[in-house]
Structure 1
Amino acid sequence: MSETITASHGVTLTEAAAAKAASLLEQEGNDDLKLRIEVQPGGCSGLIYRLYFDENLHEGDAVVEFGGVGLVVDQMSVPYLDGASIDFEDSIQKYGFSIDNPNAQGSCACGDSFN
């Protein structure tokens, strides 16, 4: 796991995740895009994560920059994500972003949702 950079809104983005997001943002060529993470109802355990690029900011959004990447957390998701860490891994065993959330009491077998 990469070294973690801490954020004031309670969510951290590792250096590996920030570097991958910055690379993807550079490919998009839109300086207004930021990485947004949110929690929404859904999945077999009740809540799902959404991680995507967004150029819109809404009232109550918390934005913290990590290595040139703005990480946005909406007001409703902050309590569910406080203390969470987003990482990126590129190995034989795993490829992609992952979220380690100490607030998740349980998750489904597929790992896509939590409660």
Structure 2
Amino acid sequence: MSTPTTAPATDAASAETTAQAHGVELTEVAATKVRTLLEQEGRDDLRLRIAVQPGGCSGLIYQLYFDERELDGDAVRDFTGVEVVVDKMSAPYLDGATIDFADTIEKQGFTIDNPNAGSSCACGDSFS
């Protein structure tokens, strides 16, 4: 009789480590805004997803949206109850980036400060 094999506990631990691997930061101001938006939607099953896609006048654009999906290779970090998700293709472009929220006369909305962006367009929506 053979006994079924199970994955060692270290595999689960390394999977957890991988899931926490992205280097995107979320400021407390941005986390508070995300929580407020989720409360307004009446949803507690959504996460904030940030991704990089081809497009824009500088070559790459940010996508920031709420998502309930869990994709293979996603990296997730929790910021006081707000989960931020980055897909495996976007993670290298976003390592060290900080998401903030501005609410001033000049600008209102989420901002992304990304040290990996070599240049950006005048509108600030795309980078290379």
Same fold at TM > 0.5:
yes
- Runs (4+) of structure 1 moved beyond 6 Å? none
Question: Could you say what secondary structure the match of 2:77 adopts?
Answer: strand
Structure with greater strand share of residues: 1
Structure with greater helix share of residues: 2
Residue of structure 1 in register with 2:107 after alignment = 94
Structure 1 distance, partners of 2:109, 2:44, is 23
Once the 2 structures are TM-superposed, how far is the Cα of residue 8 of structure 1 from its aligned partner?
Answer: 4.5
Q: Which of residues 10, 30, 37 is equivalent to 2:23?
A: 10
Residue of structure 1 in register with 2:126 after alignment = 113
Residue of structure 1 in register with 2:52 after alignment = 39
Q: Greater CA radius of gyration, 1 or 2?
A: 2
The correspondence of residues 48-67 of structure 1 with structure 2, limited to 5 A, is: 48-67=61-80
Residue of structure 2 in register with 1:28 after alignment = 41
| Structure 1: 5+ residue stretches without partners | 1-6
- Does the 8 Å contact 1:19/1:67 carry over to 2? no
- Does the 8 Å contact 1:36/1:51 carry over to 2? yes
Q: Which of residues 25, 29, 32 is equivalent to 1:19?
A: 32
Once the 2 structures are TM-superposed, how far is the Cα of residue 67 of structure 1 from its aligned partner?
Answer: 1.8
Question: Could you say what secondary structure the match of 1:63 adopts?
Answer: strand
Q: Which amino acid aligns with 1:82?
A: D
Residue of structure 1 in register with 2:7 after alignment = none
Query: CA RMSD for the aligned pairs?
Result: 1.1
